[in-house]
């Protein structure tokens, strides 16, 4: 859904691409930076329960959510740099796509380990999220464009988790996971029907 606003954000993303592109690093480098922040986020989600048991007063959930937002920012950076420098490559797209899936999986695993959501719900959220992404990849292999189809794309899912994680109330992450399950399931149905009509 957020992809529908991409054209309105072009001046902003172009500015980001110019600024970060001037540093001389490749788009893949920025993808790896975003991936690193996602790993840090998953680790601190996973440490939440342990830190509480040890009586360590550290806002692990909030810190993890901030790291997740930063990771999302670098998702914008790598694409913007690639477009501005005209360095979009098949290899870069392949790496970026895999980094995205691995990081999203780690985030949900961290949430389950950290006791921030019911592990079964976390698994369902991960499964439905992967299904939404898989439909897009499968559709593109058939020559069908799915960008903007579905309300539960990766950007929305991570944004929901980040916002919920920044809310300092009990089970806020679990509510985020439940919302992700609902929008992912709905998006899967939307995309599935859309693809069938165009095959």
Residues annotated as catalytic (active site), given as ranges: 100
Q: Does residue 121 contact residue 181 with C-beta atoms inside 8 Å?
A: yes
Do the beta carbons of residue 162 and residue 104 sit within 8 Å?
Answer: no
Of 32, 36, 99, the C-alpha closest to 68 is: 36
- Whether the CB-CB separation of 42 and 34 falls below 8 Å is answered with no
Burial 110-148 (b: 16+ CB within 10 A, else e): bbbbbbbbeeebbebbbebbeebbebbeebeeeebebee
At residue 148's C-alpha, the angle toward residues 12 and 76, to 5°, is 30
In 3D, which of 126, 157, 161, 133 has the Cα closest to residue 147? 133
d(CA 189, CA 78): 30
Q: Which two tokens stand for residue 57?
A: 């007063």
């Amino acid at each position: 859904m957020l992809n529908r606003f991409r054209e309105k954000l072009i001046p902003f993303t172009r500015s980001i691409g110019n600024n970060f592109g001037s540093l001389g690093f490749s788009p893949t480098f920025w993808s790896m930076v975003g991936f690193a922040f996602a790993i840090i986020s998953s680790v601190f989600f996973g440490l939440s329960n342990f830190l509480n048991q040890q009586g360590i007063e550290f806002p692990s959930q909030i810190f993890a959510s901030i790291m997740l937002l930063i990771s999302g920012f670098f998702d914008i950076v790598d694409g913007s740099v690639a477009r501005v420098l005209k360095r979009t490559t098949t290899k870069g797209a392949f790496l970026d796509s895999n980094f995205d899936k691995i990081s999203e999986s780690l985030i949900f695993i961290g949430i389950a380990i950290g006791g921030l959501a019911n592990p079964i719900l976390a698994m369902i959220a991960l499964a439905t999220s992967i299904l939404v992404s898989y439909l897009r990849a499968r559709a593109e292999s058939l020559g069908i464009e799915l960008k903007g189809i579905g309300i539960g794309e990766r950007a929305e899912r991570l944004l929901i988790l980040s916002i919920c994680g920044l809310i300092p109330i009990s089970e806020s992450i679990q509510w985020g996971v439940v919302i992700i399950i609902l929008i992912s399931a709905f998006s899967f149905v939307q995309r599935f029907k859309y693809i069938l009509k165009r095959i």
